[in-house]
Chain A
Amino acid sequence: MHSDEASVQKSIRTYLMVGAALFVFTGITVAVNQVHLAVPLAITVALIIALTKGSMVAGVFMHLSHERQWIYGSLILAVIGFLLVIFLPLLTVGNTIGTSIHPPAHAATEHAR
């Protein structure tokens, strides 16, 4: 058998195992949700499992675990862009330009009554 074909045969076993692991992790995600954990813990657990599953799909199915530098380069750019679009809107939340530091005078007098 050609060496390329032998490596594909070997990879097929990995694909099936990763597929099975993804099914199990999905089951765990739903099971954890049924336990009704505290909200911060539930969010942390669900996102850790989702990140694990995502890494498995990207690393094994998309062959990112052994790709060329150009692909990593384009993905680093995408991650920077992703972080920008995630955090840029937060600046609007922190924007206080044009907002008075002290409460308006009428509000203060109403409060005094």
Chain B
Amino acid sequence: MNIPYVVEERPDSGLTNGKLGTWLFLASEVMLFGALFSTYIILRVGSVEWPHGELNVWLGMANTFILIGSSVTMVMAWASLKLHDFGKHRMYLAITLVLSGLFLVNKYFEYADHFAKGEGPAHSTFLAIYFTLTGLHGIHIIGGMVVMAYFLGPGARLWKKNPEQFTNRIENTGLYWHFVDLVWIFLFPVLYLL
């Protein structure tokens, strides 16, 4: 049995099922991160003093540039498919995967520096919420990397069988990836600068 509305749009919603499902998932993600941002605000407002300058702003800025760059390459990967250029799509998707790996490498160095100084999550309220927020975000990065690796590997076969469905899948992957970038756009000033 075939799953309906993977390529053609549903007459009632005007969307494919995959796209609507992705947006509903992202809506739940907004609430997940919203709850943690709320926790951050409560902890910060309730604390007598809040550490400033504990994090490496330049590494944080580098990671922001990396994620923004990966968002651009992700949308270019989708646009290349719309232009029927599969080779360019693979190149952009591979660059996105490499950039996401680079983001995690930077994060590893940041985490390693903290742990080397004995500054784990239990060290302070600030570090507890910092590790929770960035850790959850990091898990989302890994999730995105797994999906991208799949579409660079075995998932790419779908392009030959059903190019429109493959394009829709890449669009949905892109929606998720841009959301991950969006979360970091708020995490960077909140944790590193304020």
Residues in A lying within 8 Å of B, measured CB to CB = 4-5, 8-9, 11-12, 15-16, 19, 22-23, 26, 29-30, 33, 39, 42-43, 46-47, 49-50, 53-54, 57-58, 61-62, 68-71, 74-75, 77-79, 81-82, 85-90, 93
Contact = CB atoms under 8 A, between A and B. Distances in A.
13 contacts: A11-B79, A15-B75, A19-B71, A23-B65, A26-B188, A46-B189, A57-B178, A61-B75, A74-B27, A75-B30, A78-B30, A89-B39, A93-B46
A58 B20 contact: no
B114 to A, nearest CB: 20
Contacts of B186: 50, 54
B179 interface: yes
B31, B174, B189, most chain A CB atoms within 10 A = B189
B13, B46, B82, B190, most chain A CB atoms within 10 A = B82
Given A29-B189, A53-B185, A70-B13, A9 B83 contact: yes
A11 to B, nearest CB: 7
Interface string B52-71: 00000100010011001101
Contacts of A89: 38-39, 42
Contact of B57 (A9, A30, A62, A78): A30
B143 interface: no
Contacts of A85: 31, 34-35, 38
Interface residues of B, number: 48
Contacts of B42: 89-90, 93
A82 B188 CA distance: 19
Given A15-B72, A46-B194, A86 B15 contact: no
B185 A54 contact: yes
B68 A78 contact: no
The main secondary structure of chain A at its interface with chain B is: helix
A62 B178 contact: yes
B82 A4 contact: yes
Nearest to B176: A62
A57 B185 contact: yes
A74 B23 CA distance: 7
A33 to B, nearest CB: 4
B105 interface: no
Contacts of B20: 70-71, 74
Contact of A8 (B39, B82, B178): B82
B139 interface: no
Contact of B181 (A39, A43, A57, A74): A57
B185 A82 contact: no
Given A42-B194, A46-B190, A81-B31, 9 more contacts: A8-B79, A12-B76, A15-B72, A19-B71, A54-B182, A61-B74, A62-B175, A81-B34, A82-B31
A71 B72 contact: no
Contacts of A70: 13-15, 20, 23
